[in-house]
Amino acid sequence: MSSLNLDDFTDLIERPDSAVRRDAEAHRESRIVPPGSLGRLDELGEWLAAAQSAVPVRPVERPRVVLFAGDHGIAGLGVSARPAGTADRLVREVLEGGRPVSVLARRMGVPVRVVDMALDCDPASLPEDVVRHRVRRGSGRIDIEDALTLQEAEAAFRAGVAVADEEADSGTDLVVLGDISVGGTTAAGVLVAALCGTDASVVTGRGGQAIDDLAWMRKCAAIRDALRRARPVLGDQLQLLATVGGADLTAMTGFLLQAAVRKLPVVLDGVVTAACALVGQRIAFRAPDWWLAAHDSGEPGQAKALDRMALEPLMSHGVRVGEATGALLALPLVRAAAALAAELPAAADEAKGPEEAEASKEEPKAAERAPEEEPEKA
């Protein structure tokens, strides 16, 4: 039996402040540009204001990319374009600055954090700050065995919670979440199919490197077989993650839930993050209000999961490389939405001269001062 009570998250997670969101909407309606004319940027600004509990919204100044890494035993069946057990190579390339997410993050000035949960390599070959949360070396082959023991699943989940706390405590104000894995989209497909009650073929995509038809059929069969093992444990989300998830997906689920507890907004990347979010929604139904779906990667499992959570992707640009690359592309839009929500002048200022408009901006500050005390009566 696990000592971890996932039901606690239902009580711990609150929705973003609805009163603040209404204030943000009213603030937006009074701006110089008519509401709706900025499309999703209006909605983004209001979402961020509610998450921050601030009107006008504050700029996103300390975002961070967080990547959970792991190898999956199911990759040994040839369901991925990459050889099984090679996710550590991708991690090294990210750390050395050679992956797409590294290039974009460097250009945007966003730090990247990699958390090894189950890479199939010697931990001494990677930096200590990357491997210190590792639960095991590789996850089990989920079509015939559990990905993790229940104790390992609990350890991975708690590691994800700890990482979320570390980010919130360090002042991170927005997380761009992704994964580095080989075989991870297969595990994600099993979780989505199990939680949505669909067949394997409905959720099976071609992964980050577009596998051929033969590999797709192998992947579909692997998800079908793993589904048979997943369905009996659908009522226990930690057991579900132990059975067919893997250490990286389990940690990511814990991270997402604790980020919602800490009121830390998260931008989701592709099918792996969407699958973990779907498990998180099953645990705590308010949690998805803290998450933003960055883009449509083209993976059918991702589309199914986002639809179930009523999360609409911000963009559709066909990026399926993973590693939070597509999610990071949404960051400039989030920052733009925050800037527009905070800095657009009021419609009433349009007819005023520069001096009058500047004076009107100072009025709220004057109103915040405490009233002077009346002189005492003789």
Angle at 315 between CA 175 and CA 249, to 5 degrees: 45
By the 8 A CB rule, do 95 and 127 touch?
yes
Tokens encoding 207: 């992964």
Distance, in Å, from the CA atom of 331 to the CA atom of 257, rounded to the nearest integer, reads 21
Locus of tokens 């919130």: 168
Within a 10 A sphere around the Cβ of 142, how many other Cβ atoms?
A: 27
Instruction: Look at residues 326, 322, 333 and name the one whose alpha carbon lies nearest to residue 104.
Output: 326
Tokens encoding 115: 């958390």
Selected catalytic residue, list 25, 154, 167, 323 = 323
Say which residues have a Cβ less than 8 Å from residue 139's Cβ, sequence separation at least 6.
70, 71, 72, 73, 118, 147, 148, 187, 245, 246, 247, 248
Beta bridge partners of 68: 115, 179
DSSP string, 131-170: HTT---SSB--TTTS-SS-HHHHHHHHHHHHHHHHHHHHT
Tokens encoding 225: 């077989």
By the 8 A CB rule, do 71 and 79 touch?
no
What residue type is assigned to position 321 of the chain? V
Instruction: Identify the DSSP state of 83.
Output: P
What residue type is assigned to position 370 of the chain? A
Distance, in Å, from the CA atom of 270 to the CA atom of 245, rounded to the nearest integer, reads 16
323 belongs to the catalytic site: yes
Please tell me whether residue 178 adopts helix, strand or coil conformation: strand
What residue type is assigned to position 47 of the chain? W
Catalytic residue positions, numbered: 323
